[in-house]
């Protein structure tokens, strides 16, 4: 075939790797295509850290012959520490933080042959459902509608994948930070079981085990193969997920057994959601029934509000610790302008949390995990919307306020907007957002969750749904020249 740059977005990462393997296109040509798309979509402010020269050096030095050899890729500007790619955590304080060795997850990604060429935008320290870090000079925007957020905290990655800049990108998820952007940008976003992916060597765990890495993709098979390449504990991991029976890729090739599905079309506290989100969940339920699965309406009888209060405390303490450690390395105290308002508010909350208070918060999320585990003894899958509303307007979740508690759990806060996703960070159970619906031109995600360790079943179900209701070629219109 004759390679044409306009063909680039017609392939997922697996498809592009096959073209490289066959000799139809070179890694350098794919990188050029990605950089051209990045320039076309500059209004998104999705990739604030571009390292094209580093990517060209990686190609020139010879790429590993892994499953994604030659495919352009982006890392979130938070975690996935790498010698070649400094991080900023979406913060002026953390700008250009360098690393003396690669994290386990980046080393595994690099071994697949991916060509990383930059880092994507994130809200400061990853504590928002929108990506509007002032460190990047302005908000990150959603390619489906520039006045809307792509979500957070992996918002830059989601915007880049939705725009076709890359077919897949790294993200992380501590309260929905892969699934919220997946829903907002019309992508597939899978959060694996706690401990499924490595955290080291720079961290033993994130946010008391609630945070985990992940990927934003346009196809189920890309996520499956990325997980296969990177899953498994690293040296000294404090815990690990139950072993897989096979592989994630293998799971995509077989249908699951007939499943018992619980449909929740309100929040887990019984509050109503936007009609478009409710309708998306019901539409997915009808699809599952047509596929032979049994669906019934049910609300988990768990203390979700108590969990969210505990989650908020833990994240405040984690944020304060990160800032304290950075200041210790710099040898100075916090100065005006170092961090945004929400981070200052989180630090203030953490100062009032005793050691006993922190352990009580960890105990509360563990108790919540037991409640959700008990609920999912009666069902195989819990179906809900991913968000309570369509993607929010840019500015709604700006980090200017110092009222961290209200920002997270107030009546118009992030928990009201995203009342489903953090549940499964607290419980550690696998969960996924699928791009099955839209409303007035905006993507609406549908959320599925399963028992702890049942990642392969959830991946099989996701692939079965993708075959029944394909979404790959649904993408935002390209900007006018």
Q: At 33, list the tokens.
A: 């295509």
Contact 313, 361 (CB under 8 A): yes
- Neighbouring CB atoms inside 10 A of 236's CB total 10
CB 420 within 8 A of CB 390: no
Determine contact, residues 109/116, Cβ cutoff 8 Å.
Answer: yes
Distances (CA, A) of 262 to 176, 182, 203: 20, 22, 35
326 is catalytic: no
Q: Are 433 and 319 in contact (CB under 8 A)?
A: no
76 carries an active-site annotation: yes
User: Exposed (0-12), middle (13-18) or buried (19+): which is 58, by Cβ within 10 Å?
Assistant: buried
The HSE-up count of residue 376 (CA atoms within 13 Å, CB side) is 24
- Between the two ends of the chain, the Cα-to-Cα distance in Å is 27
Rg of the chain over Cα atoms, rounded to whole angstroms, equals: 21
Selecting among 88, 103, 172, 177, the annotated active-site residue is: 177
Whether residue 445 contacts residue 376, with contact meaning beta carbons closer than 8 Å, is answered with no
Q: For residues 237 and 104, is the Cβ–Cβ distance under 8 A?
A: no
List the structure tokens of 134.
């002032």
Of the residues 76, 91, 184, 460, only one is catalytic, namely: 76
The answer to whether the peptide bond before residue 153 is cis (omega within 30 degrees of 0) is: yes
Q: Choose among 312, 428, 436, 429: nearest CA to 386.
A: 436
Locus of tokens 């096979």? 246
153 catalytically annotated:
yes
Give the dihedral sign, CA 410/136/100/344. negative
With tokens 């179900």, the residue in question is: 461
Give the number of other CB atoms < 10 A from CB of residue 394: 21
Which one of 88, 91, 103, 153 is the catalytic residue?
153
Tell which residue, 138, 50, 135, has the closest CA to residue 93: 135
Max distance between CA atoms of the chain, in angstroms, equals 65
From residue 122, alpha-carbon distances to 25, 313, 345, 357 in Å are 32, 21, 18, 29
Q: Which of 81, 62, 82, 70 lies closest to 114 in space, CA to CA? A: 70
Q: Is 72 within 8 Å of 115 (Cβ atoms)?
A: yes
Residues in the chain: 481
Active-site amino acid positions: 76, 153, 177
């Amino acid at each position: 075939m004759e390679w044409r740059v306009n063909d680039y977005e017609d392939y997922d990462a697996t498809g592009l790797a096959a073209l490289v393997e066959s000799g139809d296109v070179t890694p350098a040509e794919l990188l050029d295509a990605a950089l051209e798309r990045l320039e076309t979509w500059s209004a998104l402010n999705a990739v604030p850290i571009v390292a094209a020269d580093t990517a060209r050096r990686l190609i020139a030095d010879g790429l590993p012959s892994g499953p994604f050899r030659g495919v352009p890729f982006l890392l979130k500007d938070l975690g996935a520490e790498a010698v070649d790619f400094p991080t900023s955590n979406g913060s002026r304080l953390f700008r250009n933080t360098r690393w003396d060795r690669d994290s386990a997850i980046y080393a595994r990604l690099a071994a697949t042959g991916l060509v990383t060429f930059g880092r994507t935008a994130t809200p400061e320290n990853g504590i928002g459902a929108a990506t509007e870090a002032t460190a990047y000079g302005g908000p990150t925007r959603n390619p489906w509608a520039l006045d809307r957020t792509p979500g957070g905290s992996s918002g830059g990655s989601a915007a880049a994948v939705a725009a076709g800049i890359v077919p897949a990108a790294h993200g992380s998820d501590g309260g929905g930070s892969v699934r919220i952007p997946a829903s907002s940008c019309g992508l597939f976003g899978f959060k694996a079981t706690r401990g499924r992916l490595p955290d080291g060597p720079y961290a033993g765990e994130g946010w008391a085990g609630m945070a985990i890495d992940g990927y934003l993709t346009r196809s189920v098979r890309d996520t499956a193969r990325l997980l296969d390449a990177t899953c498994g504990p690293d040296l000294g991991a404090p815990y690990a997920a139950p072993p897989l029976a096979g592989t994630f890729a293998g799971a995509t090739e077989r249908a699951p057994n007939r499943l018992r599905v619980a449909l929740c079309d309100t929040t887990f506290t019984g509050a109503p959601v936007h009609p478009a989100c409710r309708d998306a969940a019901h539409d997915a339920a009808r699809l599952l029934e047509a596929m032979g699965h049994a669906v019934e309406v049910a609300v988990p009888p768990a203390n979700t509000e108590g969990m969210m209060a505990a989650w908020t405390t833990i994240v405040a303490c984690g944020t304060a610790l990160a800032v304290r450690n950075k200041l210790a390395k710099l040898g100075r105290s916090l100065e005006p302008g170092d961090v945004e308002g929400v981070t200052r508010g989180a630090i203030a909350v953490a100062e009032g949390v005793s050691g006993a208070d922190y352990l009580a918060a960890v105990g509360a999320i563990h108790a919540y995990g037991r409640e959700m585990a008990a609920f999912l003894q009666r069902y195989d899958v819990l179906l809900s919307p991913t968000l309570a509303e369509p993607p929010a307007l840019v500015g709604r979740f700006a980090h200017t306020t110092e009222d961290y508690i209200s920002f997270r759990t107030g009546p118009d806060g992030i928990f009201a907007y995203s009342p489903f996703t953090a549940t499964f960070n607290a419980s550690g159970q696998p969960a996924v957002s699928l791009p099955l619906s839209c409303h007035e031109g905006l993507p609406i995600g549908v959320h599925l969750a399963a028992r702890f360790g049942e990642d392969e079943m959830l991946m099989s179900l996701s692939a079965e749904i993708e075959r029944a209701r394909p979404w790959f070629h649904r993408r935002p219109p390209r900007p006018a020249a």
